[in-house]
Amino acid sequence: MPIIKSAIKRMKQTAKRRERNVGIKRDIKGAVKAFMATPSSEALSAAQSEIDTAVKKKLIKKATASRRKASLVKVAKAAGVKPAAKKTAAKKPAAKPVAAKKPVAKAAPAKKPAAKSATKPAAKKTAAKKPKA
């Protein structure tokens, strides 16, 4: 058991992270097993979603996720599963054309401040501390 305060905190954080990571990996395995048992577009989508979540949380690398998803798609094609249709939002009505606006006049250029020494007095320098004898 750690004795130092920071080591105790680090141990608690590690335990929390491990718990979360193990849970996410378990979700991936469960979704993939469910897809392999009964290949369907919903199961494929769920498995890919779990893999994407793991990538987002930096639990697995992008390339690893890509490889796993590709193997799932390969199995889906062999089983004759059609990919789920992508959900698209309903089309919004076209916006009315905006009336032409009057051109805005350019603002006057900002005045440049005078020389630095004229506006602000020089800062006082502090004396160096003498070492104690």
pLDDT digits (tens, 9 = 90+) for 54-112: 999 999 999 999 999 999 999 999 998 887 666 666 666 666 666 666 667 677 667 76
Task: Domain count for the chain, please give it.
Answer: 1
Mean of the per-residue pLDDT values for the chain?
A: 84
Please tell me the pTM assigned to this model.
0.59
Q: What is the pLDDT of residue 87?
A: 64
Domain assignment present for 121: no
56-60 CB contacts, 8 Å cutoff, 24+ apart: 57/24, 59/21, 59/24, 59/25
* 69 within domain boundaries: yes
Asked if residue 64 belongs to a domain, the reply is yes
In angstroms, rounded to a whole number, what is the distance separating the alpha carbons of residues 105 and 116? 31
Q: What pLDDT score was predicted for residue 1?
A: 87
Does 124 fall in a domain?
no
**What are the structure tokens assigned to 93, written together?**
């009505």
> Is a pLDDT exceeding 70 seen at residue 34?
yes
3-state secondary structure of 3: coil
60: CATH: 1.20.58.110
Q: With the C-alpha atoms ordered 36, 40, 45, 50, is the resulting torsion angle positive or negative?
A: negative
Task: Tell me what pLDDT residue 95 has.
Answer: 66
- Domain of 19 in residue numbering reads as 5-79
pLDDT computed for residue 82 by the predictor:
80
Q: 102 in a domain, yes or no?
A: no
Sign, CA torsion 111/117/120/126: positive
pLDDT at res. 100: 66
